[in-house]
Amino acid sequence: KILILDFGSQYTQLIARRVRELGVYCEIHAYDMKEADLKALAPKGIILAGGPESVTANASPRAPEAVFTLGVPVLGVCYGMQTMAEQLGGKVQSSDQREFGYAQVQLEAETALFQDMSDHLKDGKKLLDVWMSHGDKVISLPEGFQVTASTPSCPIAAISHEEKRFFGVQFHPEVTHTLQGKRLLEHFLLEICACQALWTPAQIIEDMITRVREQVGNKKVLLGLSGGVDSSVVAALLHKAIGDQLTCVFVDHGLLRKNEGNQVMEMFADNMGVRVIRVDAAKLFLDRLKGESDPEAKRKIIGNTFIDIFDEEATKLTDVDFLAQGTIYPDVIESAAVKDGKAHVIKSHHNVGGLPETMRMELVEPLRELFKDEVRRIGVELGLPHDMVYRHPFPGPGLGVRILGEIKQDYADILREADAIFIEELRAAGWYEKTSQAFAVFLPIKSVGVVGDTRRYEWVIALRAVETIDFMTARWAHLPYELLEKVSSRIINEIPQVSRVAYDVSSKPPATIEWE
């Protein structure tokens, strides 16, 4: 196992993810963990991660001395390299100037870490494309160390003590912009630390099951199941771990996609034998939403109603001690800084069905440390259908934010049909996987059309399809005209209440992905 010491960088989790992608088990601990705990972990190698502080500042974080006396390989990244250099007798200089972004480092000496690596050759020197993000830099080496890479502005960009197997890189190997980052970590993990690549989805599941069982014992657990990927994976996992100790509450707000509610019940209750309480609350939601057309007010009503219903169901269940949530890493922490050994939350999730404030239950969040793609792989391994696990994201308020203005039952019904046609055609044309999110939007305006010899005066449906990596920015998907034509003609022909279909060609920013 590999130990990653966290100095508060937002990249720490990403390093962990890369390590796990390479099949090696790792644990993140705060930099100030007790030496006894560190020794008890018996890591095969240690990674000192980055951090926002300055090594030159008073009382800035340091690695425990044991890191350098255990006799295992150490890789310092960014702040981790600086503190390693400083703690072993080198010098770090602080600087107001930040070097941020793409850089080329020139390799200066043979080192096990950069074995057989080079992106470019210049004047017989090997160059690597890397991603830098730092202000301070190492200006003198500790004894026994050599410089292994440099840039014009950062002459000591990587260091090593080959004998002790201590390595430092000023750049970030964990980000994809560092082209050879994965190989660098592979060298460190598999060759230098001699770890074996055994950490597979099956192993991760075993580990999570053990931890859940330890946490909940023979007590009961409640889970809000939404049909989304994260809560579905938690349901499947907890069912496997604790069987009937798990009860799921599935609140159907009537703003789900076509057949979605039934599919959730079929998959979990019928096929897997999970105990699921379905609450059909469509009418209550519609009643409360009546007359409301402001997007934020609609979101609030949906969110609060959801919590009310969930709360009510939960109080009906006696002796439940734990509340499970499908929280995944990006939901919890956008950027974490180590303070008193704890990461603090910068951004909390705005999902429907947050934790009811009045509920005093301990949380079970088995996916808390995982990224979306890891959750998906685990979902497949747990036997969830591929199409379900790789589905586009769907907002908590559902069709509620895709019906512009006031929400009405017949609008929702029309939108569900149009959306189903769009998604079906996207899948058939092989475009579903090429887009990150695609859906139909109901516009409560009427437009004239002609069908046969008769004039039609009906509603407008807009189609939205985007490509994005992080959903913070997005490009509208350049769907083939033939595909759009087919979707449009099917929607207008099959849904008599629609007379016109439009395609949204706005990117984000300035437009958001959803229309409300």
Nearer to ligand XMP, 8 or 396 (CB): 396
Q: Does 227 bind ligand XMP (CB under 6 A)?
A: no
Q: Does 379 bind ligand XMP (CB under 6 A)?
A: no
DSSP state letter for 47: E
For Cα atoms 212, 214, 215, give the angle at the middle one, nearest 5 degrees. Answer: 65
Q: Is 172 a catalytic residue?
A: yes
Q: Which two tokens stand for residue 30?
A: 């705060």
Determine the straight-line distance between the first and last CA of the chain, rounded to whole angstroms.
46
List the beta bridge partners of residue 364: 324
Residues 396-425 that bind ligand XMP (CB under 6 A): 396-397
Window of 92-100, 120-128, 244-252, 390-398 that interacts with ligand XMP by CB under 6 A: 390-398
Of the residues 26, 78, 154, 193, only one is catalytic, namely: 78
Q: Does 395 bind ligand XMP (CB under 6 A)?
A: yes
Is the sign of the CA dihedral 187, 189, 192, 196 positive or negative? negative
- Out of 342, 350, 427, 478, the only residue in the binding site for ligand XMP (CB under 6 A) is 350
Distance of CA 204 to the CA centre of its chain: 17
Total of residues contacting ligand XMP (CB under 6 A): 13
Q: Does 486 bind ligand XMP (CB under 6 A)?
A: no
Nearer to ligand XMP, 316 or 350 (CB): 350
Question: What is the spatial distance between Cα 215 and Cα 220, in angstroms, rounded to a whole number?
Answer: 11
Q: Does 347 bind ligand XMP (CB under 6 A)?
A: no
- Out of 437, 462, 463, 488, the only residue in the binding site for ligand XMP (CB under 6 A) is 437
Residues 295-324 that bind ligand XMP (CB under 6 A): 299
Q: Does 393 bind ligand XMP (CB under 6 A)?
A: yes
| Nearest CA among 85, 102, 212, 228 for reference residue 161 | 85
Tokens 């998906």: give the residue. Answer: 376
Window of 16-24, 116-124, 319-327, 388-396 that interacts with ligand XMP by CB under 6 A: 388-396
Nearer to ligand XMP, 299 or 500 (CB): 299
Q: How far is CA 292 from CA 86, 303, 410, 414, 516, in A?
A: 61, 14, 16, 19, 13
Q: How far is CA 13 from CA 127, 169, 220, 240, 333, in A?
A: 27, 17, 30, 27, 10
- Is 228 assigned a ligand-binding role in the annotation? yes
- Out of 94, 176, 348, 512, the only residue in the binding site for ligand XMP (CB under 6 A) is 512
Buried b (16+ CB within 10 A) or exposed e, 412-432: bbbbbbbbbbbbebbeeeebb
Other CB atoms within 10 Å distance of the CB of residue 394: 18
Nearer to ligand XMP, 98 or 347 (CB): 347
Nearer to ligand XMP, 44 or 349 (CB): 349
Q: Is 26 a catalytic residue?
A: no
- Is 231 assigned a ligand-binding role in the annotation? yes
Q: Which residues are catalytic?
A: 78, 172, 174
Q: What are the residues binding ligand XMP (CB under 6 A)?
A: 299, 350-351, 393, 395-397, 437, 471, 508, 512-514
Question: Residues annotated as binding site for ATP?
Answer: 226-232
